[in-house]
């Protein structure tokens, strides 16, 4: 049989397991130019929360009653398409279905000769590219500057901090547990890190760990954590608005300090972005990230959850901070 995970309800607040249901279908047959894929690794990502609601956004919402889709790695089981053969591995946007048919367009052939296949969903995939382009194209850090990263121990944040160190910056991370704080310093080379769950005076703590102020803030979380970083931004600082996970489950519009005042007074640039804005430059990003990986300047970690049935749970756990590095489901 062929299991699929269907979006049953649009989540209200934090997503629940009951928002998803499993269905069983026949394994599909392929025709000319098609390939049959079996899912191997599934990327669960915070942005999927946005697609589960029907609010207007930069991508279409998922349809109720249909399978959810995300970045996945699959194995070619059968092929009637001359570009693919049985046993090839591909990555691309695929449905949460054990088996599916594809015409191969939009899929990228990958191999595990240098890195595990799952790295193509993280450090060499969407989250690594988000870190690279957000930091380089908007943050534009200069040697000796101070970068603060929120969501620092996650897939995007851990790469941002390491690129900051490669560029010769002071890097301070913000994350949700002492274990993550230790990991940031020991594995990813951050100069300092803050546990936002146990630090009472965030603004003062950031000031203490950034004695020269904050030149670049790479924001993955938004909310009150970001309010405290904003208070420490230097003149001509850059705020890279990558994500706002702390507000994704809000049911009303979050209200906080108005930002115009400090943006004007400090001449600060604050810019949001979507990684897809840089699609034409992806080969450049992959080239830099792979070179740093080969040179041992960049490393990565994954939290791997096992089994197709665990996909919804792994997705929900992103909002509980259960992952260190990239959250991956191994089917």
Closest distance to ligand NDP from the beta carbon of 80 (Å): 34
> Rule CB under 6 A: is residue 156 a binding residue for ligand NDP?
yes
- Asked whether position 47 contacts ligand NDP by CB under 6 A, the answer is yes
**Which residue number, 84 or 278, has a Cβ lying nearer to ligand NDP?**
278
Candidates 8-16, 45-53, 254-262, 288-296 — which segment interacts with ligand NDP by CB under 6 A?
45-53
What is the pattern of x (binds ligand NDP, CB under 6 A) and - over residues 106-135?
A: ---------------------x--x-----
Q: Does 228 bind ligand NDP (CB under 6 A)?
A: no
Site for ligand NDP in 50-109 (CB under 6 A): none
Interface with ligand NDP includes 176 (CB under 6 A)?
yes
Residue showing tokens 């041992």: 296
Please select the residue that binds ligand NDP; options are 11, 46, 71, 128, rule is CB under 6 A: 46
CB of 111 to ligand NDP, least distance (A): 24
- Give the tokens for residue 284: 């450049």
Stretch that binds ligand NDP, among 4-12, 64-72, 287-295, 318-326 (CB under 6 A): 318-326
Phi, psi (rounded to 5 degrees) for 91:
-125, 150
Which distant-in-sequence residues (6+ apart) come within 8 Å of 132 by Cβ? Answer: 159, 163, 285, 288, 289
Q: How many CA atoms lie within 13 A of 220 on its CB side?
A: 28
Mutual angle of helices 202-209 and 223-230, in 10-degree steps: 50
d(CA 281, CA 133): 9
Residue 248 burial (CB count, 10 A): 22
- What is the closest distance, in whole angstroms, from the C-beta atom of residue 187 to ligand NDP in the complex? 15
- Phi first, then psi, for residue 127 (nearest 5°) are -75, -35
Binding to ligand NDP, residues 256-315 (CB under 6 A): 273-275
What are the strands of the beta sheet with 269-272, ordered from one edge? 192-195, 170-175, 146-150, 214-219, 233-241, 269-272
Nearest distance in Å: CB 115, ligand NDP: 18
Per DSSP, what are the bridge partners of residue 86? none
154 is a site residue for ligand NDP (CB under 6 A): yes
Using the 8-state DSSP alphabet, how is residue 139 labeled?
Answer: I
Classified as helix, coil or strand, 26 is coil
Report residue 40 as tokens. 């191997």
**177 near ligand NDP, judged by CB under 6 A:** yes
Q: Which of residues 206-225 bind ligand NDP (CB under 6 A)?
A: 220-221, 225
- Identity of the residue, 255 or 264, whose beta carbon is nearer to ligand NDP in the bound complex: 255
242 contributes a contact to ligand NDP by CB under 6 A: yes
Q: Provide the terminal-to-terminal Cα distance of the chain, rounded to the nearest Å.
A: 15
The overall longest dimension of the chain from CA atoms, in Å, is 64
11 binds ligand NDP (CB under 6 A): no
> Smallest distance from the beta carbon of 87 to ligand NDP, in angstroms?
30
Q: Is 180 in the site for ligand NDP (CB under 6 A)?
A: yes
Indicate whether 319 belongs to the interface with ligand NDP (CB under 6 A).
yes
- Contact between residue 191 and residue 174 where contact means Cβ atoms under 8 Å apart: no
Q: Identify which of residues 215 and 219 has a Cβ nearer to ligand NDP in the complex.
A: 219
Which of the ranges 16-24, 78-86, 140-148, 240-248 carries the binding residues for ligand NDP, by CB under 6 A? 240-248
Ordered DSSP codes for 14-57 = S--GGGEEEEEEPPPPP-TT-EEEEEEEEE--TTHHHHHS-S--
Residues that bind ligand NDP (CB under 6 A): 45-47, 127, 130, 151, 153-157, 175-177, 180, 220-221, 225, 242-246, 273-275, 318-319, 321, 323, 327
């Amino acid at each position: 049989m062929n299991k699929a995970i269907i979006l049953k309800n649009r989540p209200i607040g934090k997503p629940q397991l009951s928002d998803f249901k499993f269905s069983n279908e026949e394994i599909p047959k392929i025709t000319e130019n098609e390939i049959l894929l079996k899912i191997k690794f599934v990327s669960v990502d915070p942005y999927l929360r946005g697609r589960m609601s029907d609010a207007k956004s930069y991508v279409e919402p998922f349809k109720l009653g249909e399978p959810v889709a995300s970045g996945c790695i699959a194995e070619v089981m059968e092929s009637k398409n001359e570009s693919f053969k049985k046993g090839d591995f591909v990555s691309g946007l695929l449905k949460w279905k054990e088996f599916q048919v594809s015409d191969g367009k939009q899929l990228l052939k990958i191999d595990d000769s240098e890195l595990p296949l799952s790295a193509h969903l993280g450090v060499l995939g969407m989250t690594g590219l988000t870190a690279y382009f957000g930091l380089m194209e908007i943050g534009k850090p200069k040697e000796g500057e101070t970068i603060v990263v929120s969501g620092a121990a996650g897939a995007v944040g851990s790469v941002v901090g390491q690129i900051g160190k490669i560029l010769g910056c002071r890097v301070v991370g913000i994350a949700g547990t002492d274990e993550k704080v230790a990991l940031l310093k020991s594995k990813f080379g951050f100069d300092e890190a803050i546990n936002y769950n146990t630090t009472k005076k965030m603004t003062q703590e950031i000031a203490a760990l950034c004695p020269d102020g904050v030149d670049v803030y790479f924001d993955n979380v938004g909310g009150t954590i970001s309010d405290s970083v904003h208070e420490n931004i230097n003149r001509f600082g850059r705020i890279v608005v990558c994500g706002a996970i702390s507000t994704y489950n809000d049911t009303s519009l979050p209200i906080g300090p108005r930002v115009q005042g400090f943006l004007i007074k400090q001449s600060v640039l604050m810019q949001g972005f979507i990684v897809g804005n840089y699609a034409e430059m992806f080969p450049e990003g992959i080239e830099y990230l792979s070179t740093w990986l080969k040179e041992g300047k960049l490393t990565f970690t994954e939290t791997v959850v096992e089994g197709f049935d665990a996909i919804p749970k792994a997705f929900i756990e992103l909002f509980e901070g259960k992952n260190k590095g990239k959250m991956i489901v191994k089917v």
